[in-house]
Amino acid sequence: MKKFGIIVLLITAILQAYSQEVKSNGKQGKEVTDTLLKSSDETSVAVGNDLISVKDSKDAFSLRIGNRGMDILESLEGGHKIKFRNYPDNDDLYDQDDKSDNRERRWRSGRHFRGHWAGIEFGFNNYLTSDNSFTMPSAINYMTLHSGKSHSFNINFAQESFGITRHFGLVTGLGLNWNNYRFENNNNIQTDADGVIIPLDPGSQLERSKLTTLYLTVPLMLEAQIPSDFHRLNIGAGLIGAIKLASHTRMDFKNGDKIKTNDDFSLNLLRYGATARVGFENFHIYATYYLTPLFKEGLGPAGYDLYPFEVGFALTFND
């Protein structure tokens, strides 16, 4: 009972001193995160870069808070001996000779990394010719898009982050990508008997006409996070792959009639490209350019290859 009273008194005193130090550090912008680690006779709580450790063995009771601690030793005469000690800097929270502790320490250094992929995105999409031009050759003028009304919408519903360090790592996941290609002229598209894209004359005045595609996307990005006070600037770039799930065309006539056609339209089933994003906290600007043509080889309009891209804004939900 006497030992218990001494322990409680000393723990209370040290915790009070430590809490004042944590509050002081918090005012300076220090991030404090608690993590509980347990072993057979020791319980440790990581608070930011500090460690609170309580160890109760047969011969001694040890308490460590940050780089300060004390040992209560059992003497041969049945009494107690109290020994205070200072630990090295908290960069070395675990015994370097213990391989399992080293693995735990390495895990702790990168465990807080969370990438920025899961969320929603809204952007504008278009495509370029093989010579990187927005202007369609005269032979395929019917492929010209209304840039301001050709848009994309993405739902990134799954994310996995692999921290290399606390502020740098790999990000992957899954998403759904809708692209609406709104045609500028009074036409739509179709395929001929060989699957080649050709123009479709609606025979009447159109209110709007578009091609819509739906892809399942998978990114693999490297992301760096630059902390500033309690906020982060995020920069990410990498590859993105996609598989086509559906496609259709739609024509809305000025007389109120509507025609929707579900078809393959000789679109590439698989595509890949480069993607990049930069943002502050959960708001980002992103851009994606696909290195795979929109249509299958040799089946594009008049044999031309068109390379799709999109640029837009993202709101991520990584926290």
Report, as an integer, the average pLDDT of 176-193.
Answer: 98
Same domain for 94 and 169? no
- 36 compared with 160, residue with greater pLDDT: 160
308 belongs to a structural domain: yes
Backbone angles phi, psi at 95, to 5 degrees: -65, 120
The angle at the Cα of 279, spanning 274 to 283, to the nearest 5 degrees, equals 110
Residue at a domain's end among 41, 76, 109: 109
Shared-domain flag, residues 125 and 79: no
Q: Find the helix or strand (DSSP H, E) in which 92 lies.
A: none
User: Which pLDDT value is given to residue 78?
Assistant: 54
- Give the gyration radius of the chain's Cα atoms: 31
Question: Could you tell me if 169 and 288 lie in one domain?
Answer: yes
Please report the pLDDT score of residue 232 as a whole number.
84
pLDDT higher than threshold 60 for residue 237: yes
- Of 109, 143, 175, the residue that ends a domain is 109
Any domain includes 114: no
14 inside domain: yes
pLDDT beyond 50 at 215: yes
Same domain for 237 and 277, yes or no, is yes
CA distance 271 to 145: 21
Q: Which domain range does residue 148 map to?
A: 119-316
Q: How many CB atoms lie within 10 A of CB 175?
A: 22
Residue 65 domain-assigned (yes or no) = yes
**Do both 81 and 144 map to the same domain?**
no
Q: What is the pLDDT of residue 227?
A: 85
pLDDT digits (tens, 9 = 90+) for 21-70: 444 444 444 444 444 555 555 555 555 455 566 676 666 767 776 666 77
The verdict on 269 and 124 lying in the same domain is yes
Q: What is the mean pLDDT of the chain?
A: 81
Domain count, the chain: 2
Residue 272 lies in a domain: yes
217 shares a domain with 277: yes
Give the residue among 210, 200, 134, 204 at the shortest CA–CA distance from 178: 210
**102 lies in the same domain as 124:** no
Please report the pLDDT score of residue 228 as a whole number. Answer: 74
Percent of the residues in the chain that have a pLDDT greater than 90, as a whole number = 61
Is 26 in the same domain as 96? Answer: yes
Which residue in 295, 280, 95, 118 sits closest to 211, CA to CA? 295
Per-residue confidence (pLDDT) for residue 67, from 0 to 100: 66
Whether the predicted pLDDT of 5 surpasses 90: no
Q: Which helix (H) or strand (E) holds 187?
A: none
Do 198 and 281 have their domain in common?
A: yes
What is the tens place of the pLDDT at every residue in 67-115?
Answer: 667 777 765 555 556 776 766 654 444 444 444 444 444 444 445 789 9
SS3 content of the chain, % helix, strand, coil (to 5): 15, 55, 30
Of 56, 74, 109, the domain-final residue: 109
Say whether both 167 and 92 belong to one domain: no
Q: Which residues pair with 53 in a beta bridge?
A: 44, 64
Q: For residues 95 and 221, state if they share a domain.
A: no
Alpha-carbon distance of 239 to 259, in angstroms, equals: 36
